[in-house]
Amino acid sequence: MIETLNVTETTLTPKQRDKSRKLRKWLKYVHSICDFLQNHSRLPGRDAWVQIIAHLLLPWMKKNSVIVPTIYGFDLCVSRQTGYQYYYYGYYEPGTMYVIKKSLRQGDVFVDVGASVGQMTFLASDLVGDGGLVLSFEPHNFRYAQLVDGITINNRSNIRTFNIGLGREKAMVRLYTDVYSPTMLPEKKGPNFQNVQVDTLDAILGQWQINDVRMVKIDVEGYECAVVQGAQKLLSSKNAPILSVEHGIYDSDSDVISCIQKYNAYQTFQLQGTMRRVSKLRHIENPQDLRPHDNVFCFLPHHLKELPEEMFV
């Protein structure tokens, strides 16, 4: 059963479903080329080559929703505004996906904060299996509708979805939608917004009686510290989770690492090849050395003992 709040209707019309079926074989073929060049070759300038090839071989993506395959074996419901990367390439942030793959096990609980259309939600759903659970939070109504469409398309039963945001306290907050990735930061405000319910992760976990979370991914466009502050009970616990946190997108989120380390003895890492590459993790001792506009991975000592040595430099 899926927990749906403020459920919106499906974003897919019969015509869009039919178009998706016709495109599917060609999309998979183009995605396989992009995957090989981007993730399995050392071709100089491969980022540019992948972009050129995908846009030459595929028709221009329209605004309407479409079902697209991914290189990970599940489908996503996307539109140009919510996921052009999946349409053209079949993946997004392969480096982050690699860390999630290595971190999750059968039966684990994964929390996806800022799930968008659900790429990491569906990967986690595969990895944790029927005995595990994925909690997926997305406050933006249209992205949430596409996430729910994806659950139906992929026939998933171990995902619980929440059409709310997470923060430091329960409140109603404006989600500004003029930017490419919607944000709750007031300094990014524009004329277009939606009012969204915000709660704390600690409160949600308490309601669901969940005490053990393996991994939390937080990608909320500068609102990361607020999410962390609303999860202090979880992050202070002996079995606190592995964290994947977007870092340095806005100036206001520059202190997210200090927020995290306030609650536990987390060590911070970044991928050598950025979130756009499958590569090894490098320990970053000084937060000032963190690469901006990239993800940070935070582990406790017992996580580092459990994870494969091949993940780290």
More confident residue, 189 or 255: 255
Eight-class DSSP state of 59: P
Eight-class DSSP state of 183: B
- Phi, psi at 134, each rounded to 5°: -120, 125
Q: Judge contact between 216 and 243, C-beta under 8 A.
A: yes
Is the model's pLDDT at 4 over the cut of 50?
Answer: no
pLDDT at 192: 85
Is the model's pLDDT at 254 over the cut of 70?
Answer: no
CA distance 96 to 218: 12
- Rounded to the nearest 5 degrees, what angle is found at the Cα of 164, between the Cα atoms of 239 and 256? 50
pLDDT at 287: 84
Burial category of 48 from C-beta neighbours within 10 Å (exposed 0-12, middle 13-18, buried 19 and up):
exposed
Residue 26 C-alpha from the chain's centroid:
26
Mean pLDDT, residues 138-154 taken together: 95
- Residue 250 falls in which region: left (phi positive, over 0), alpha (psi -120 to 50) or beta: beta
Ranges of CATH 3.40.50.150 domains, the chain: 94-311
User: What are the tens digits of pLDDT across the range 90-136?
Assistant: 999 999 999 999 999 999 999 999 999 999 999 999 999 999 999 99
CA distance 212 to 58: 43
Is the model's pLDDT at 253 over the cut of 70?
Answer: no
Q: Judge contact between 204 and 87, C-beta under 8 A.
A: no
Strands (E), 39-164: 66-69, 75-78, 109-113, 133-137, 159-162
H helix or E strand, kind and range, residue 221:
none
Q: Please, what is the angle between helix 141-154 and helix 119-128, to 10°?
A: 40
Q: What is the pLDDT confidence band of residue 64, given thresholds at 50, 70 and 90?
A: confident
**pLDDT over 90 percentage in the chain:** 79
Domain 94-311 has CATH 2.60.120.10: no
**CA torsion sign, 136 to 137 to 143 to 148?**
positive
Residue 255 C-alpha from the chain's centroid:
20
pLDDT at 250: 62
CA distance 208 to 229: 19
Three-state DSSP class for residue 253: helix
Is the model's pLDDT at 5 over the cut of 80?
Answer: no
User: What are the tens digits of pLDDT across the range 19-42?
Assistant: 999 999 999 999 999 999 999 999
pLDDT at 288: 85
CA distance 217 to 90: 20
With b meaning 16 or more CB within 10 Å and e meaning fewer, what string describes 239-278?
ebbbbbbbbbbbebbbebbebbeebbebebbbbeeebbbb
H helix or E strand, kind and range, residue 2:
none
pLDDT at 178: 72
Average pLDDT, the chain: 92
Mean pLDDT, residues 182-210 taken together: 89
- Phi, psi at 191, each rounded to 5°: -70, -25
Is the model's pLDDT at 218 over the cut of 80?
Answer: yes
Mean pLDDT, residues 138-166 taken together: 96
Q: Strands 193-199, 171-176: parallel, antiparallel or unpaired by DSSP?
A: antiparallel
User: What are the tens digits of pLDDT across the range 277-295?
Assistant: 999 999 999 888 999 889 9
With b meaning 16 or more CB within 10 Å and e meaning fewer, what string describes 141-161?
bbbbbbbbbbbebbebebbbb
Q: What is the pLDDT confidence band of residue 3, given thresholds at 50, 70 and 90?
A: very low
